[in-house]
Amino acid sequence: MADLERAERSDALRNRRAILAAASHLFDTASDPFLITMDDVAAAANVGKGTVFRRFGDRSGLLRAVLDDRIAALVDQIEHGPAPLGPSTPPRERIVAALMATIDFKVSNRGLFRAIEQDARPAVGGFLKSENYRWAHTLLSRTLAEIVAPGEAGFCAHALLSLARVDLIDHMMAQDGYTLSELKGHVRNYLDRLIQSSGEAWS
């Protein structure tokens, strides 16, 4: 019985890895990630569609699992790592570093993020209520609380996170013609002005 249970757990882990790998590839390479279906993922992973649904519930659950798998290293760097992302970094420097890292991560995973943000739109506040967004907002709010006036940190965190929306990044790079370096330079300059003016106003 124990051997059978171990074999079942091994099969389940192998299926999970295959599904996540297949989904990652499909969302990264699709011209329109919103068109990727659970059937497509099951076929690419060489498993039954029922296996995908049992493991992840629905398409949104699968997308979140792929994101969680990819973002874990960045979250660990921000929560526990050294400067400039880690908690030992002075607040002004950490905010800039965290937002730059977020933009890099979103550009590297833009297909996945487009699908996640599109999936969340039908539900009111869906994307804003996601675990990853709430984590990022809480982190920025806590850091900003050391810089801006009391009661302003939550609003400023939402405003800064809006700069890292993948649809805005895509528009500025594809339609406005910014390179990633130029885009990050503009965001950095904006952050520098915001943080400097906040420090002058509230210090």
pLDDT > 70 fraction of the chain, expressed in percent and rounded: 89
The pTM of the full predicted model, rounded to 2 decimals, is 0.80
pLDDT at 4 over 60: no
Report the SS3 class of residue 134.
Answer: helix
pLDDT at 194 over 80: no
Report residue 5's pLDDT band, with 50, 70 and 90 as the boundaries: low
Output the pLDDT for position 177: 95
CA distance 54 to 69: 18
| Overall average pLDDT of the 43-60 stretch | 93
Scanning 81-179, the segments in alpha helix (DSSP H) are: 91-108, 110-120, 131-144, 153-162, 166-174
Q: Do residues 81 and 167 both lie within one domain?
A: yes
Q: Do residues 40 and 122 both lie within one domain?
A: no
Q: Do residues 125 and 194 both lie within one domain?
A: yes
CA distance 81 to 5: 37
pLDDT at 8 over 80: no
Q: Do residues 123 and 84 both lie within one domain?
A: yes
Q: Do residues 166 and 197 both lie within one domain?
A: yes
pLDDT at 157 over 60: yes
Output the pLDDT for position 195: 73
Residue that terminates a domain, selected from 34, 57, 80:
57
Q: Do residues 15 and 108 both lie within one domain?
A: no
Domain of 38 in residue numbering reads as 1-57
| Overall average pLDDT of the 191-203 stretch | 63
Q: What is the pLDDT of residues 73-126, one digit of tens each?
A: 999 999 999 999 999 999 989 999 999 999 999 999 988 888 887 776 545 456
Residue 148 lies in a domain: yes
Residue 23 lies in a domain: yes
Q: 112 near 36, Cβ under 8 Å?
A: no
Q: Do residues 86 and 185 both lie within one domain?
A: yes
Q: What is the pLDDT of residues 60-87, one digit of tens each?
A: 899 989 999 999 999 999 999 999 999 9
CA distance 200 to 196: 6
Residue 62 lies in a domain: no
Q: Do residues 125 and 167 both lie within one domain?
A: yes
Q: What is the CATH number of the domain that holds 47?
A: 1.10.10.60
| Overall average pLDDT of the 177-192 stretch | 93
Q: Do residues 145 and 192 both lie within one domain?
A: yes
Q: Do residues 105 and 49 both lie within one domain?
A: no
Q: Do residues 34 and 11 both lie within one domain?
A: yes
CA angle at residue 62 from 136 to 19, to 5 degrees? Answer: 125
Q: Report the domain count for the chain.
A: 2
Which secondary structure element, helix H or strand E, spans residue 39, and what is its range? helix 38-45
